[in-house]
Amino acid sequence: MLGYHSADEIRAAEAATGDLLASGVLMRRAAAGLAGVVAAELRARRGAVYGSRVGLVVGAGDNGGDALFAGANLRARGVAVTAVLLAPDRAHAAGLAAFRRAGGRVVDALGHDLDLVVDGVVGLGGSGPLRPAAAAVFEHVRAPVVAVDIPSGVDADTGVVHDPSVHAAVTVTFGARRRAHILAADQCGRVECVDIGIDVPGARMVALDDHDVATNWPVPGPADDKYSQGVTGIIAGSDRFPGAAMLCTGAAVAATSGMVRYVGTAAGDILSRHPEVVAAPDLDSAGRVQAWVIGPGAGTDDDAADKVHSILATDLPVLVDADGLTVLAAHLDWVQQREAPTLLTPHAGEFARLAGAPVGSDRVTAVTDLATRLGATVLLKGRITVVADGAGPVLVNDAGASWAATAGAGDVLSGLAGALLAAGLTARVAAASAARVHAHAAILAARGDDDTSAGAPIGASDLLAAIRPAIREMRSVA
């Protein structure tokens, strides 16, 4: 499990070190770590550190100081280092002096023959897009960029990527990861965290790793049977959208070794593909379940609304998605009155209908506020999935790619998460675990049998077929 911290949490941890911060020890540790990462990157890219060429883009304050001290360190390793000072009269004095003593050169513009460029413009205190002078420098940069702490132009807490901003190949941070490192994961590139001796408290934003998911994922024990492993009820699909039912139900079948019951009009199609599913024409004959999934492709008419209301009136865990969320947006009290776990899985448009306003730039705060207001767990879909229940830490997941941005992929996610609810996982852990397996399955499906990193577009059927291989790979790390 990885924690991601706010700027205030990092500042407080640094301030708590007292003399280490005031005397510049923390900065020198950070600079040494930054130089080490840059040297390793040079070695990986060109096979040597000595004789390499590195440019620094240096802003005012401590972020620029980190870059200048690192530049001095690199000069001692035989690297030719040049620096553009965006605010010469406010450059970090000690860092600039060390840089010049080491033989670093201050220039008006970076050359085109550089192996790497270090972004030392702004750090945690930065907000908004690159200022014109910085943007003019980076406009001509062709070398890979190593960012100090946060790529400039990216908000540290919200992960908002402004235009213009720096796109980093590597981001080097210190002591602990910042929230932007996952909320703007693509912009940050690979994140290297350097230990500088600060003590950061437990994070209020965390990401489950493969080991966490593998440990949580339900597998049959010696005393288990089909009922003890969780019975998932699915209400999905319609005459117009039978595929939603097949995708959602198929994912629930693939997720666990329990049992799946289906209620809806697509029973014939589902049974032809998944004969193990127990189908019923209506709720009265559905049988007992441990959790319900309702909404994908199920319609928004009065009959659909009656089903949503009936399911939410039970004392069972319920996942509401797609059409179910559209129905629910007009009846939020159906969720607010519940005591049993409720998991809502909207995309941005559905979220806006539930919240009465667009998600906005601060996705984490928006999801947390909605979850708190409804007394539910909310999973906001996207490449970076955000899960909040208003109580525990926010769970986030970086899909690593956007292959799952395809019609029907959300139906697969609903079936996965619903089966985990039925197996007894909490709503927030079920949501985050399902999101991670869903993302990994999308990558496996995109790579196909060639297992190449390039990948090719997929459909939701390909994604569904990759669920079991994804679970198998995930569980191999347990």
Residues 163-186 have pLDDT tens digits of 999 999 999 999 999 999 999 999
244-265: average pLDDT = 96
For residue 10, CA distances in Å to 73, 190, 200, 331, 461 come to: 25, 20, 7, 41, 44
> 331 a known binding residue?
no
Is 90 exceeded by the pLDDT of residue 24? no
Q: How high does pLDDT run on average in the chain?
A: 95
Strands 384-388 and 377-380: antiparallel
Find tokens 């450059």 and name the residue. 91
> 129 a known binding residue?
yes
pLDDT in the model for residue 171: 98
> 385 a known binding residue?
yes
Question: Residue 86: helix, strand or coil by DSSP?
Answer: coil
Q: Where in the chain is the domain with CATH 3.40.50.10260?
A: 2-203
Is 90 exceeded by the pLDDT of residue 209? yes
> 64 a known binding residue?
yes
pLDDT in the model for residue 449: 67
> 410 a known binding residue?
yes
Contact 401, 442 (CB under 8 A): yes
> 309 a known binding residue?
no
310-320: average pLDDT = 98
Phi-psi region for residue 18, left (φ > 0), alpha (ψ -120 to 50) or beta? left
**What is the topology classification, in CATH, of domain 2-203?**
Rossmann fold (3.40.50)
> 152 a known binding residue?
yes
pLDDT in the model for residue 201: 87
From 240, 241, 244, 286, select the one nearest 262 (Cα to Cα): 286
> 411 a known binding residue?
yes
- In this structure, what token pair is assigned to residue 292? 């319900």
Is 60 exceeded by the pLDDT of residue 253? yes
Contact 43, 73 (CB under 8 A): no
% of the chain residues with pLDDT over 90: 90
427-440: average pLDDT = 98
Q: Where in the chain is the domain with CATH 3.40.1190.20?
A: 210-475
> 307 a known binding residue?
no
> 62 a known binding residue?
yes
> 244 a known binding residue?
yes
> 149 a known binding residue?
yes
pLDDT in the model for residue 453: 63
Confidence of residue 450 (pLDDT cuts 50, 70, 90): low
% of the chain residues with pLDDT over 70: 99
pLDDT in the model for residue 437: 98
In whole angstroms, what separates CA 113 from the centre of its chain? 35
Find tokens 């205190």 and name the residue. 125
> 127 a known binding residue?
yes
Q: Residues near 106 by Cβ (< 8 Å), separated by ≥ 6?
A: 82, 83, 84, 85, 88, 96, 99, 100
Is 90 exceeded by the pLDDT of residue 224? no
Is 80 exceeded by the pLDDT of residue 469? yes
For residue 361, CA distances in Å to 30, 229, 357 come to: 30, 40, 12
pLDDT in the model for residue 21: 83
pLDDT in the model for residue 125: 78
Confidence of residue 86 (pLDDT cuts 50, 70, 90): very high
Question: Residue 168: helix, strand or coil by DSSP?
Answer: coil
> 221 a known binding residue?
no
Is 90 exceeded by the pLDDT of residue 289? yes
CATH class of 210-475: alpha beta
> 125 a known binding residue?
yes
> 202 a known binding residue?
no
pLDDT in the model for residue 19: 84
pLDDT in the model for residue 250: 97
pLDDT in the model for residue 442: 96
79-104: average pLDDT = 97
Q: Name which of 19-33, 186-200, 276-290, 299-313 the model is least confident about.
A: 19-33
Measured CA to CA, the distance from residue 196 to residue 199 in angstroms comes to 9
CB hemisphere CA count around 445 (13 angstroms): 26
> 51 a known binding residue?
no
In degrees and rounded to multiples of 5, residue 388 shows phi and psi of -140, 145
DSSP for residue 343: E
> 225 a known binding residue?
no
Judged on CB neighbours under 10 Å (0-12, 13-18, 19+), 140 is exposed
197-222: average pLDDT = 93
> 228 a known binding residue?
no
Measured CA to CA, the distance from residue 28 to residue 42 in angstroms comes to 21
pLDDT in the model for residue 140: 92
> 123 a known binding residue?
yes
> 100 a known binding residue?
no
5-19: average pLDDT = 91
Is 80 exceeded by the pLDDT of residue 478? no
Q: Residues near 145 by Cβ (< 8 Å), separated by ≥ 6?
A: 116, 117, 118, 119, 138, 151, 166, 167, 168, 169, 170
